[in-house]
Each structure stands twice: as structure tokens, then as C-alpha cells.
Structure 1
Amino acid sequence: MLRLSLVTALTCYSVQASAQQLDAAAAFGAREYIEQASLSPDGLRLAYVTPTRGQASAVYVLPVDGSAPPKAIAAADGKPERIAGCNWASNTRLLCTVYGVISIDGTLAISTRIAAMDHDGANMKVLSHTRGTGDLLGYDTFGGSVIDWNPGVDGKVLMMRQYVPESSTGTRLAQTAQGIGVDLVDVSTLKVSSVEPPSRDAGEYITDGKGIVRLIGRRASKDYYTTGVSHYSYRRAGSTAWQALSSVGPDRAGFDPYGVDPTLDIAYGLKRVDGKIAAFSIALDGTLGEKLVFAHPEVDVSGFARIGRNRRIVGVTYSTDVPSVEYIDAGIARLIQSLQKAMPHLPLVRVIDSSEDENRLLIWAGSDVDPGRFFLFDRKAKALQELALARPQLEKVKLAPMRHITYPAADGTMIPAYLTLPADGSTKNVRAIVLPHGGPGARDDWGFDWLTQFYANQGFAVLQPNFRGSAGYGDAWFEKNGFQSWRTAIGDVNDAGRWLIKEGIADPAKLSILGWSYGGYAALQSAVSEPGLFKRVVAIAPVTDLDRLKSENQNYSNYQEVVRFVGSGPHIEEGSPARHAAKIKAPVLMFHGTMDRNVSVFHAELMQNRLKAAGAQSELVVFEGLDHYLDDSDARTQMLRKTAEFLKAP
């Protein structure tokens, strides 16, 4: 099997690195080498985004036949511009989304733009502008998004774009339209044709994948804040008239559309039934006939698997103990099964992109002990070609298997979790970490996790609980969410630590807790609710005061939704760790970025001040210019190295 020059270079790097003593913090903290990848419509070129220094990234293009080495065609320095990803608008033209976290009058916001360029980086142009000649009367932070890559004309795309009104003193050429509309954009000439006029309440448009807008979602608002309710309308085939389809609120009880199949003339979407989310289809022929596509008795459906430039829906995604797909396309189902049989050591197989005819597929495959590999699969030739490694520096590093387990909570409820034992094979009386996930409307899954694997490499057992308050297990498990039902959620997290001790896995004197975002909140609140259980606490980008979490979102359109989610009542006082810092007895180490718009750095600073005032042992590391995800290899390396030293300290 021929490997392209890219993977050959990466493999050589891996061998050289493994021959020397591994710098584990640098190896595990490094950003993924392939952050995003896309296959050209003819299947002949691969474009991918790879990290450089800090938050910077570069775009490379590679002929998949290996006839030329990868060529860098664009870059962003990460200060603040960063590259989210690039996709092909034609065989020779790429569109790249660039974004950055910026401060507007003291409020952090994400600003995006879309740039078009030739496959060699030439003729770069920005597609996002919808400006007239006047002065803007608002902020133009949304640079648009492509909603259809294949509208029937090569080199043109359908884009959702934001129109911001302008003042018109002395001119009639100022922009007067306002809201989100849909335009047909020529990515070479920038010629624009309006497809859907801008609408102030429009938040979503969904096409049939062939250039026809079939669905619109309008966001309900009150006093300039969104309510969390969206009203969807659809068009019958060949019609321009909108008809009511569904309404979706925070309870997800209504049909929430995700995509359209023009051949079957149906919309696919999700809907909550009997306390769990299931996949349904609705006929778009005027009858609104609804059919169940897939439901799982134990867990929620999470979304849909897609393929090709038309973003054709081919399956339904969900996760029990392992991420799974229920395929509704028999041909794709057989294909994935055959690939899984061909690569039994890589059971997680995903189609990342495909050529126009779906003959050439860009495949990602991985497992708990393999960070992932990219392949090109030719369906006609039945040839599978490895292209690149997701994390080449870990290619020769022994990783630790992740095992799904359950443990009993104090009330007898069995809590699903993932246990990873030290990579050196130790199983008893070891250093151990309870690692609660973020969210709280999220869950952990089976697969490679760079945090977990780093600590396993360092001799720790790691337990990741899907505590009550986690998403994916239905309404009863979610309860009121991990903030309003913090006593249950944190109780489950504490019980995870007790289980590690009871099973003899954890040395009680060397049991710690570490979390990121909500997980950081859980780590601190666990130390408040049960001082002494965890001997050391690490909190990354943590929420520390629930009232502050609400108030700092006041300048965002979803403020009322955040207020409703966090709630009001005694839990605000009782469930805010910064208000009970004096109860924490264990040493605390925190990390936070100054450009975090998810959770303000104020939370960590407040916690640090309160801990110091209480005489506690604590340290806060602040990363200037970094956001919630600390997406910087050097920062992550520093964080891993420092946390390992902290958690191993006597």
C-alpha cells in the first residue's frame, strides 16, 4: 500500500520521537495534526488544516495520487484570526472559514469571515461582505455560512449571510435590509444573486442539497432576547409559499428538522417522545405525514450521519457505551461494515467527505487506543489508502484501553462511566483521578481522549462518570440539569471516587479530581460538598458562581435562555463553590483563558481570591488571549506538565 509523502514524513517524525525519551506533556498536549480535511469534488485533491505555533494554523493542499508534496496555500496567526476549516466549492476553488474571539465594548464575541482562494492560494477574496456605502448601525460579526455546496452550478454556493442596516445620509446606496438572508454566490467573481431576502427573525435555512431552500427556522424573541423557541416552515416541491411545519422549544417536544431528502420529499429531524429523543421523518408534500426512523430504548438519538457534497443523510447517530450509527442507506451500511472488518483494530469509522459521485471517500477511523487515521477509499477499485495520522507523535506510544463500567450511587442507581487504568499495567492502589465532563448538557463517550490518555501514561487511573445531569440518557437522567440538580450530579461524582477506593483501584491518599468547564465546576463543588475525599483539585475554565454565570450573558441574545437553564432559588447560593471556598481543604490548581466567552475568566479569579482569603493552598494560571478550549499546543503542554507535578506532589 502506497503512503503519500505527508504520512511518510509524519511516520518518520514518530519513529524519531519514539527513539528518544517521550516528552509526554508535549506529545499529548499537541493539537491534532489534521484539524479538518476536505476532498475535492473530483476526488483528486485533499485540503487540510494543520496547527502551527500557538493558535495559528495553515492550510495545505495535497494531490491524493502522491504526484506532489503538500503545499501550504494560506495561514492565520491566531491573534485573533483562526482557521475553522476549508471546503471545496469546485475542483479548483476553496472556501475557508476564519474566526476570532474579539471584544466589543467589553463583551467578548466571535467574529467570522469566509475567504475564497484557488487550490494554490491565488486569487484570495472575502465572500462575507454585504455592505452598502453607509455607516453600519450595528455590529457585523457573522461572516456567513455555506448551506449548500452543490446548488447546480460549479463554483457557486448558497450562503446564509447577515445584512446590517446602514445610515444613509447623503446617499441612496446605503444598506437598508436587516437580518439573515440566503444568496447564491459565485466564489470566483463574487457575483451575488438573492435567493431569500433577509429576515430579522430568521435563524436557520435548510436546503435539499441541490440548491432549493425548503425549510426556514424563525427564532422567537421577547425584549430583544431569544426565548429558545423556533418556528419552522416548509415549502412543497415547486412552490414558493411557506407552510407551517413545527415549533420547537427548550423541551425539544416538537419536530426539529435537520435535513431534507429531495428524492423522498421528506425532512429528517429529532423529536422527544416518552422522555427520550428519537429520529423522525415528515413528508413535505402537504400531508405532514410523520414516521419514526429510529429510537433507542435506553439513550437519546444525537443526530444524523451524512455523506457527500449534498450532505445527504444516510444514518442516525446515538451512543450507548460506544458511539454508533443506525444506517438508513443500505449501501453505506454495507460499506462501513466492510471497512470495520478490514480494520478490526479501528472500530470507529466515519465518512468525513466524498467526491461528487461518492466513489472516493475520505475516511477517518480510530479507537480508544488509536487517536485516528485518515484514509482514501475508492469504492470502484475497492482500494483503501492511508493518508495521514491524526496525532503522529503518539504513533509509537503505548496507550491505555478505555473500559465501560457502572458503579452504584449512594441511592443505588447504577452510574455509567469509563475507566482507564494506567498504561503501565498497574491495577491496584494507584494514583487516581475522577474526571467529570463539561456541559453539563453533554456526556463522555468511548474513544481516544488526550487528557485521559496523558494521565494514564503518567500512572493514574482515570474514571469518567456520566453522572445524572449528563445528556444523552433521556429526561429522567438529565433531571433539571447539572446546575439546578447539582446535589444529585455532584453526589454521583463523589460516589465515583468512593467506588475507586472501594474497588482497591485508588490509593485513598492519592485520589484527585480534575475537570474542564462544568467539569471544573464539579471538581470545586465536590471539594465543597465533601471535603477530604479528593486530596487535590484541578479546575480548568470553571464556573464558580451561578449568579455570575447568568449576569455575564446579559449582553447576548440568549440571555433569557441561560437564566432559565441556570434557574433561581436556594441552589444559586448553595451550589456556587466561590461562596463556600472556606470549606475546601484540598490544594487547588486552576487554569483559565482571558478570551473565554463561554465562562468568563472572572470565575477563576473570584475563586482564587476567595480561596486565598480563606487561607487555602491555591494557584491560578491565566493564559492571555486564549479562549475556553485553550486551543494552543504550548499552553496545553504547560497545563499538562504542571497538573502532573501538582497531582503527584506528596
Structure 2
Amino acid sequence: MILLHRFSLPLRSIIKRYPSALLIALSLLVPALQASQPDHHIDTADFYQGEALHHPQLSPDGTHLAVLQDVGNETIIMVRNLVTGDSFYPIKSDNERFKFNWIAWGNNDRLLLSVRFSNNRGMRILFTETRLLAIDAKKPSEVTTLIRPDAKADGWISQYQDNIIHWLHDDPEHVLISVDRESPAKQSVYKLNIYNGKTQRVKKFNAGIRSWLADQQGEVRVGVGYNDTKRETIIRVLPAGSKKWQTAWRYTLFEDPSITPLGFGHNPNELYLLADHDGRKAVFKSDLSKEGFPLELVISHPQYDIAGSLIYSHANKEVVGLYYSNSAFGSVFWNEEFKAFQAGLNKALPDSANYISSLSNDGRKYLLFSSHQTDPGTYYYGNRDTKELAAIAEVYPNIDRRKLTAKKMLRYKARDGLKLEGFLSLPAGDGKNLPTLIFPHGGPMSRDGNNFDSFSAFFANRGYAVFQPNFRGSSGYGHDFMMMAVAGMGLAMQDDLEDAVRFLAKEGITDEKRVCIVGASYGGYAALSGATKTPDLYRCAISFAGISDIVRLRETSKYFINGRAMQDQLGRNTAQLRETSPARFAEQVKIPILLVHGDNDTVVPVNQSQLMHERLKRAGKDVTYIELEDGSHFLDYYEHRKITFEAMEAFLQKHLPVNVKTASASLH
């Protein structure tokens, strides 16, 4: 039996140094009372406050917890002693010079930090760059930048410097890192000292190899290469005991199902991979000592792709399971000990998705993340010896879970008969003839699931039905389904959204005269495309960081080493791309549009929204444009989240009021 209780730690140290951290402290988990509002109402600030903590990591000995926490526009690293309750704050970021990407323990006393920032390197487009830092976790120390320019590299500085491929658990002073330190795109592997940054090259770059993988003993055994001219990925392996690298698998991008090495078992010839099984991605293992490198199926799903990362038990020296995501997030084990362990957790926390996010090296202490559709998630600290499980932090501590509504999966057919899925969030009430938001995801090769997300929860709490369709081209439904996104923007992918509206109206869920479309990134493009392609279908549109001119976006491909693949994905037919670029059809818009974009976006350039705004204004349309100063593609800043949520709320209240029915739009 697992003993479930609250984790009562003194909060004085965190409150003394950061008074506003009361909002994010490791709390007693009591929902805040909402006063002077309807019973179901949640304050807007509780949504845009953002996640209270990010990337919690348990130290190798299981005695300390390191987390990223947002305090206003700053992000701090907090290290909490889980035995004494003492806290230490080794470093913070103002999120202007750099942003924390992730944190990890190099050993029980040393933290490694990945940070990111944007740079144009003298070009006309912004890129994301990363750096790897190290700092003492339990005492004041200087921050060490670990990767230094190579004196022989003729001024070259690596763009990405945080790709650790092995943590070398038996060598607490070193890790293995893959970095193109000597020449652009030529990845070598180095043994890196996490105290002084000294390096020793252990594997020199090979032509075309973009990434490396090491076995559990720290030997580099897999190299993955890519040829952009041929669009071909090649996976080369070095069997244990051999000195000869061999090509094991190859596939052509966009034509063949992908093959992705995940990692090694304790046996250095046992390689785990993701590969195709009956049209869906599944986990296999291959014995590299056998001729032809045969694949043995480990786990699959009949309907969805399996995607995720391996779970290692250092105590068992073995792969025991997999973190996965399909319609939800979780973990699955094939090791009998961990199967029983998971069953005990599920019994203690029923009706939740429970997965172990971090394990101590001896496997006895762990962090557990537990969530369900009306719970954004809670982290627990567990001890397998004492069988105690203590709640330590909620991800959204101010949101009253009792006021959230669950998502429901709906299946519908597109006009060509293709079967599609989507997730519906409903406000409190009878759920009939509701004002509705169509909320397509970004990517487009990604997907939505039944997990909590702050945007759909916020919109539903404001009285809207929110539908998140996994239109054709979404990931998770097999290779063929996902490839429908290639050169497909604005075509059948867009029709799937229109068909979703018709389906919801037919089911009596949606008032067909009160529908808006909202999205970010590709979803922002879909919102703008909806406003131009089907101008009578929606009452309004909101685009965050959306694409407005595909031809212009395709022109940026020349700056990337996989530029030809990017051109293939967007499409080679320039005439078609012009026909599906919303900025070129601004005069067809009949509805109000809200545009929001960060001026420091390294994914979709801000000029995409600037162009759309300019064209709409020239055409005399009702458009509001908000440009977020130093804003990224991901709403990193508290202030940017605040601006965006409040702008969307005001825009929808004006153009799609919940309690006012109008008849200026109709389905044809």
C-alpha cells in the first residue's frame, strides 16, 4: 500500500527572498476561493500566470529537487533539500538575455543548465541558439560556460551546444556531448568536464552524420546522417566488439516511414528503435550482433503511433519502459517489477495519468507527475521503501479544479470520407447550441490530446465550446496520415476544419451562426486561411504567430541545412502556395481579425503578421495587431501571456459574446 499525504515543508526561505513566490511555492494544495463571480468562473490571471514550475529533476541520490520557477518576468532555479526542507537559489534569468531551456543533475552537487537565445548571425532571419552552463547546486559558485570555441575553428561558434548524449553515471565529473565545435554541421563527440569545461574528443565527425548515440557503457555506437539533396536518412551502427561501422537502415523523408533510434539496453548490442508496424509507429529492439539487424517488436498500439523516450533503471542497469504520448501522456512498463510499481501508483491515484518523471539512481525515490482532464497536474515525491507518496507542488496552483470541465473525444468524417478525431471542451451547462471556437493545433505535424491545456480550458471557462481537431497531417495516426500535411496547407487540411464546424452544428453542440477560429503557429495560419477561404463560416479569427504568406516563408529555407526538405514540406508549386496564402486575399475577409506576434520569433518570422496586418488595413478590414516586444514563438514572458490572454478575451467578448445570439453568419 502507498501512503498518500501532503508534503509539509517550511516556506519561509522562499517567501523571504521572493515575496511573489507565494503564488508558486510548494503549497498545501488548497484551491483558492473565488469571490463575487459565478460559481464556474476562474480569473483570467490564473490561466496566464503560467506553470508554477518546470523541469523538476530529482538528484541522483534522491535527496534534492531542482526546479525552474517563474516569478513575474524572471525565472529562478530553486534547489530544495527534501530531507530538511531548506532551499537554495543558485541562479536566475531575467528572460531577456537568455531563457532557461532545461536543467539536469550532472552529479549530486552539480547542475547543468541549457539556455537559449535568439541571434541572426548577420542574416535576415532569427535563429535559436543554445549554450550549456554548469553551477554548484548547494552553495554559491561561479557560472561556468562549458563549451568554448575551438582555436582551430576559424571563428566558428556552435549554434547548439547542449546535446548531451550520455551522462556517464560512473564518472561524476564528465558527460558525453555531441557538438559541431570544429566546423559547421560536423558533429563530433567529446568527453566534457562539467567543472572546468575541458574536453577530450572521443569520436571525430563523419561526413553527413548529424547526431550520435552512445550505449549504456558510454561507447558511441549509432550515428544518424541526413542527405538533404536525396532527402535520405541513414542510420549507421557499430556492433559491440567490432571496429567496422555498418549501414543498418535508411529511409527517404516524406516517402518512407521513419526509423528513430531511442537508446540501448544493458547489452551494448541491444538497440531500441521506433519504426513502422502495421501502419503505426511502434517500439522495437534490434540485436546488432546479428546479420541484417532484425527487429523484434516490444510494444505497439493498433490505433495510434507510439512516441516517446525510454525509461532507464540505473539500479537494474536496464530499460524498463517508455514515456509515451498518444491521446494522453503517460508511461508504460515491460519490466515486471516496474509494472507492479505502476499498478500501485494507479491504485493510490485512480482515474489519473500517472507517470514517473524522475528516479534516483538506486531506484527507491522518485518524482511522480499525476494529471487528468480536470487537473493540470500535481508532482509527488515518493519513497518505495517507506511507501510514502507526498504531494509537493501543483502546476497551476491557483486554478480551482472543481471549475474545470473534461475534454471529450469526438470522431467525425471529412467530406472525402476520411475518419478524423478531435477533442471537445464544453463550458458548464447543457452543452447545446453553443458559441464555438475551432482551435486547430500548430505544427502541423503534431496533435492535440485529452490532456489539460490552458487555452482550451480558459475558453471553455468563458462559456465557449472549444473543438481541437486532429486534421489530416496531424501526427500520431501513422505515416500515411501525417504525410497528408506535405504541400497540403490550405487545401484538404483546411476543409477538415470546415467539416468539423458542420459536424458540431449537426450534433446540436454548436450554434452555426456563432463560430470563431483561433490558432497559433500553423493554427494561426489556419485561422487566417479560414477568414479568407471561407469568409462566411466564421464570425471572427485570432492568429498568434501565424503564417500569412507561404511563398515568403519558403524563401527562408535557404538559411537552413535541411532547406530542401523544408521546401518539399511547404510545397514546390508556387502558384498553389500563392492561392493558399491568406495575405494575398485580404480583400475577401469579412470578419474581425486579431493578430498577435512576438518580434523575436525564431520559428515564424514576425514579418508574416506584419504583412497580414498591412494587407488587411489597406483593404479597409477590421484588424487589431499586437506586436510583443522581445516576444518569442512560445509566450515565455509573464507579461506577454497577460497581454495575449486579455486581448483574446476582450476580442471574443466583443465579436462572439456568449449570451448574445446574432445572425450575421451562416453555413451554406
Is this a same-fold pair by TM over 0.5? Answer: yes
Using the TM superposition, give the Cα deviation of residue 127 of structure 1 relative to its aligned residue in structure 2, in angstroms. Answer: 4.5
User: Do the aligned partners of 2:600 and 2:629 also contact (CA within 8 Å) in 1?
Assistant: yes
Alpha-carbon spacing, 1:567–1:119, altered in 2? closer, same or farther (3 Å): same
Partner residue in 2 for 1:327: 333
User: Do the aligned partners of 2:424 and 2:465 also contact (CA within 8 Å) in 1?
Assistant: yes
Partner residue in 1 for 2:547: 543
Alpha-carbon spacing, 1:108–1:139, altered in 2? closer, same or farther (3 Å): farther
Alpha-carbon spacing, 1:187–1:647, altered in 2? closer, same or farther (3 Å): same
Partner residue in 2 for 1:281: 285
Q: What does 1:183-194 correspond to in 2, within 5 Å?
A: 183-194=190-201
> Which of 441, 446, 456 in structure 2 is aligned with 1:442?
446
Partner residue in 2 for 1:32: 51
* Worse overlay, 110-119 or 537-546: 110-119
Question: Is there any run of 5+ residues in structure 1 with no aligned partner, and where?
Answer: 166-176
Which residue identity does 1:406 align to in structure 2?
Answer: R
User: Do the aligned partners of 2:101 and 2:116 also contact (CA within 8 Å) in 1?
Assistant: yes
Task: Tell me how many residue pairs correspond in the alignment.
Answer: 631
Instruction: Quote the Cα distance in structure 1 between the aligned partners of 2:299 and 2:392.
Output: 34
* Worse overlay, 200-209 or 380-389: 200-209
* Worse overlay, 10-19 or 635-644: 10-19
Partner residue in 2 for 1:421: 426
Name the SS for the 1:631 alignment partner. coil
Q: What does 1:242-253 correspond to in 2, within 5 Å?
A: 242-250=245-253, 251-253=255-257
Using the TM superposition, give the Cα deviation of residue 416 of structure 1 relative to its aligned residue in structure 2, in angstroms. Answer: 0.8
Using the TM superposition, give the Cα deviation of residue 115 of structure 1 relative to its aligned residue in structure 2, in angstroms. Answer: 1.3
Name the SS for the 1:542 alignment partner. coil
Which residue identity does 1:104 align to in structure 2?
Answer: R
Alpha-carbon spacing, 1:616–1:480, altered in 2? closer, same or farther (3 Å): same
User: Do the aligned partners of 1:278 and 1:295 also contact (CA within 8 Å) in 2?
Assistant: yes
2:333 equivalent to 1:315: no
Deviations 1:146-198 (A, max 9, x none): 21113521232112233135xxxxxxxxxxx9832222222224343322124
Partner residue in 1 for 2:209: 202
Which residue identity does 2:171 align to in structure 1?
Answer: V
Alpha-carbon spacing, 1:517–1:312, altered in 2? closer, same or farther (3 Å): farther
TM-score normalised by the chain length of structure 2: 0.88
Q: What does 1:109-508 correspond to in 2, within 5 Å?
A: 109-133=127-151, 136-164=154-182, 179-199=186-206, 201-222=208-229, 228-250=231-253, 251-253=255-257, 255-263=259-267, 265-287=269-291, 288-308=293-313, 313-316=319-322, 321-323=327-329, 325-345=331-351, 347-395=352-400, 398-422=403-427, 424-481=428-485, 483-484=487-488, 486-508=490-512
Alpha-carbon spacing, 1:76–1:339, altered in 2? closer, same or farther (3 Å): same
User: Do the aligned partners of 1:6 and 1:388 also contact (CA within 8 Å) in 2?
Assistant: no
Using the TM superposition, give the Cα deviation of residue 219 of structure 1 relative to its aligned residue in structure 2, in angstroms. Answer: 2.8
Partner residue in 2 for 1:94: 111
Name the SS for the 1:194 alignment partner. strand
Name the SS for the 2:158 alignment partner. coil
Deviations 1:206-250 (A, max 9, x none): 11233222212233255xxxx543322222224443222222331
Using the TM superposition, give the Cα deviation of residue 266 of structure 1 relative to its aligned residue in structure 2, in angstroms. Answer: 1.2
2:90 equivalent to 1:73: yes
Deviations 1:384-404 (A, max 9, x none): 111211111214561111111
Using the TM superposition, give the Cα deviation of residue 137 of structure 1 relative to its aligned residue in structure 2, in angstroms. Answer: 3.5
Which residue identity does 2:601 align to in structure 1?
Answer: D
Deviations 1:96-139 (A, max 9, x none): 11111122213311221111111135333435334344684334
Percent of residue pairs identical: 27
Deviations 1:242-278 (A, max 9, x none): 2222223314446421111133731111223554322
Instruction: Quote the Cα distance in structure 2 between the aligned partners of 1:539 and 1:123.
Output: 44
* Worse overlay, 597-606 or 291-300: 291-300
Partner residue in 2 for 1:171: none
Instruction: Quote the Cα distance in structure 2 between the aligned partners of 1:137 and 1:546.
Output: 34
Instruction: Quote the Cα distance in structure 1 between the aligned partners of 2:490 and 2:305.
Output: 22
Alpha-carbon spacing, 1:207–1:17, altered in 2? closer, same or farther (3 Å): farther
Using the TM superposition, give the Cα deviation of residue 62 of structure 1 relative to its aligned residue in structure 2, in angstroms. Answer: 0.3
Q: What do you get for the CA RMSD once the two structures are aligned? A: 2.6
Name the SS for the 1:393 alignment partner. coil
Question: Is there any run of 5+ residues in structure 2 with no aligned partner, and where?
Answer: 12-21, 656-668
Which residue identity does 1:581 align to in structure 2?
Answer: A
Partner residue in 2 for 1:596: 601
Which residue identity does 2:381 align to in structure 1?
Answer: L
Using the TM superposition, give the Cα deviation of residue 308 of structure 1 relative to its aligned residue in structure 2, in angstroms. Answer: 4.9
Alpha-carbon spacing, 1:485–1:625, altered in 2? closer, same or farther (3 Å): closer
Partner residue in 2 for 1:45: 64
Alpha-carbon spacing, 1:178–1:539, altered in 2? closer, same or farther (3 Å): closer
Instruction: Quote the Cα distance in structure 2 between the aligned partners of 1:647 and 1:189.
Output: 54
User: Do the aligned partners of 1:202 and 1:219 also contact (CA within 8 Å) in 2?
Assistant: yes
Which residue identity does 1:438 align to in structure 2?
Answer: G
Partner residue in 2 for 1:168: none
Using the TM superposition, give the Cα deviation of residue 415 of structure 1 relative to its aligned residue in structure 2, in angstroms. Answer: 2.1
Instruction: Quote the Cα distance in structure 2 between the aligned partners of 1:371 and 1:160.
Output: 35
Which residue identity does 1:76 align to in structure 2?
Answer: S
